[in-house]
Amino acid sequence: MKQRTAIVMAAGKGTRMQSDLPKVLVPVCGRPMIEYVLDTLREAGVERQIVVIGHRGDLVREQLSSRKDVIFVEQTEQLGTGHAVMMCRDALAGIEGAVLIVAGDSPLMQEKSITALFHAFDSQSPACILGTGYRDDPTGFGRVLRDAENRFVGIVEQKDASEQQKQIKEVNLSCYTFDCGDLLVSLKSLDNTNAQGEYYITDCPGILMKMGKEVMALDVLKPCESLSINTMEDLSIVEAEMERLQANAS
């Protein structure tokens, strides 16, 4: 069945948010942050929203109970973003075409950006498209590596980047569009042989490239869309940006 599908990562605790709420339920300008994400997905034509819940998942279910396009998947152990997607395999059964993967703590995500990713996927049919953006200060983000023909060749994380690579301002913003079949195949090769012992969705594009599949990086995300919320300071920054965007739109 071909329909626009999204997986929303919403299992985090939000330990640094001074709240026992699941992080995605922390209010931003008076609304739980995940509500903005789901509204944006709906505006972009996403018909099936798979929300991965964990810490106090009952509260997330209750908050989103009126949304008929939401399916809940439980991640009982927090073993990384790749593990969260692994938990969605049954929910993805029978799905054809694009699967978008986004974070539930990115309330400034824009409908135009998501639509652009879907349009690129529909017209070019790659195995995966990474949504990227440019930041004046890319510190802390994975840098996007391209070859002489501007084709995507990989991501290098901040801790592994050379001094030259650290000058790159195009960054990975944890927003991916996968062909559903290719995503499921790549998950079979995903492992947790890293310092944290976790499974990372960021490894899946590389797995697909090694299989000879086409992986693209598309610079469609605005700087504000790179703002996620991990601390109370982050929350203040996002609320100020949201108020600015709302004022400009009115």
pLDDT of residue 13: 81
Residues whose CB falls within 8 Å of the CB of residue 12, separated by 6 or more in sequence, listed in order = 22, 23, 24, 54, 55, 78, 104, 105
* Contact predicate 143/156, CB 8 Å: yes
pLDDT of residue 227: 87
Residues whose CB falls within 8 Å of the CB of residue 26, separated by 6 or more in sequence, listed in order = 14, 17, 19, 32, 33, 229, 235
Strand bridging mode 170-179 / 128-134? antiparallel
Reduced to 3 states, what is the DSSP secondary structure of residue 235?
Answer: helix
pLDDT of residue 20: 82
Quote the tokens at residue 170. Answer: 């195009």
Neighbouring C-beta atoms of residue 30, cutoff 10 Å: 6
- Is 151 catalytic? The answer is no
Each residue's pLDDT expressed in tens, for the chain with a length of 250 residues: 678 999 999 998 877 777 788 999 999 999 999 999 999 999 999 999 999 999 899 999 999 999 999 999 999 898 999 999 999 999 999 999 999 999 999 999 999 999 999 999 999 999 999 999 999 999 989 999 999 999 999 988 888 889 999 999 999 998 999 999 999 999 999 999 888 889 999 999 999 999 999 999 999 999 899 888 888 899 999 999 999 998 887 6
* Amino acid making up residue 150: N
16, 31, 146, 244: the active-site residue: 16
Q: Which of 40, 37, 50 is nearest to 178 (CA)?
A: 50
Q: The pTM is what? A: 0.94
pLDDT of residue 1: 63
* Summary count for the chain: helices (H), strands (E): 7, 11
pLDDT of residue 204: 95
| Alpha-helical segments (H) within 90-171 | 111-124
Q: Which domains does the chain show, CATH number per domain? A: 5-130+172-217 (3.90.550.10)
Report CA-CA distances (Å) from 110 to 26, 140, 178.
20, 22, 19
* Amino acid making up residue 194: N
* Contact predicate 14/235, CB 8 Å: no
* Contact predicate 9/109, CB 8 Å: no
